[in-house]
Amino acid sequence: MSAEMILYIILSLLRADNATNLEHPQIQAHLVKVSQAIKSHATKSIQATRLISLAYNESRFGYKYALKGTYPKSSWNACGIYQQVPKFAQVSTTCEKLGTDVDHATKVAVAYLNYMIDRWSIRGSKKLDKRMCHYFSGNRCDALARTYSKKHRRIRQKAIRLKRLNMLTKKVNGKN
């Protein structure tokens, strides 16, 4: 998937949330970096739509923070657009690096998702959707974590539909 397609999906998801200031140059630059990082680090097992859904669910891609010049950070010390806790990361990192370097944060998110796949022997995209509860809560999947998994799947499916719609629109417009 191209970085342009990823940016289209990101903007579509944010507009559906009535996000404001999306045309601001700082926000645009931030979202372009996010889309390029997702394109660079997406793999066959960790597809771009999964990373889009993850960043959307965790921080709405951190677009509000881009305008403030800060980054998302929770009371649990989870940082950056993927809300990762440095001490649980599979790659050496810091909260500041996760918050300020979107490419690094995406690399760390992919590493953790790959860890989850290996740790719980996850095979297939639907099974990974169900196991996203572990991204939310670690080793246990309680009711709140399962709700998170369902939300993740809904957004991932929406991203897939937006991708197909965009491709169909390009195909129709290309014939005219």
pTM greater than the 0.85 cutoff: yes
At which residue do the structure tokens 């923070």 appear?
65
Coil, strand or helix at 73: strand
Helix axis angle, 143-175 relative to 48-59, nearest 10°?
Answer: 120
Q: Provide the residue-wise pLDDT of the chain in tens; the chain has 176 residues.
A: 999 999 999 999 999 999 999 999 999 999 999 999 999 999 999 999 999 999 999 999 999 999 899 999 998 899 999 999 999 999 999 999 999 999 999 999 999 999 999 999 999 999 999 999 999 988 889 999 999 999 999 999 999 999 999 888 887 887 54
Residue ranges per structural domain of the chain: 3-167
Q: Which residues make Cβ contacts (< 8 Å) with residue 40, sequence separation at least 6? A: 103, 106
CATH number assigned to the domain covering 3-167: 1.10.530
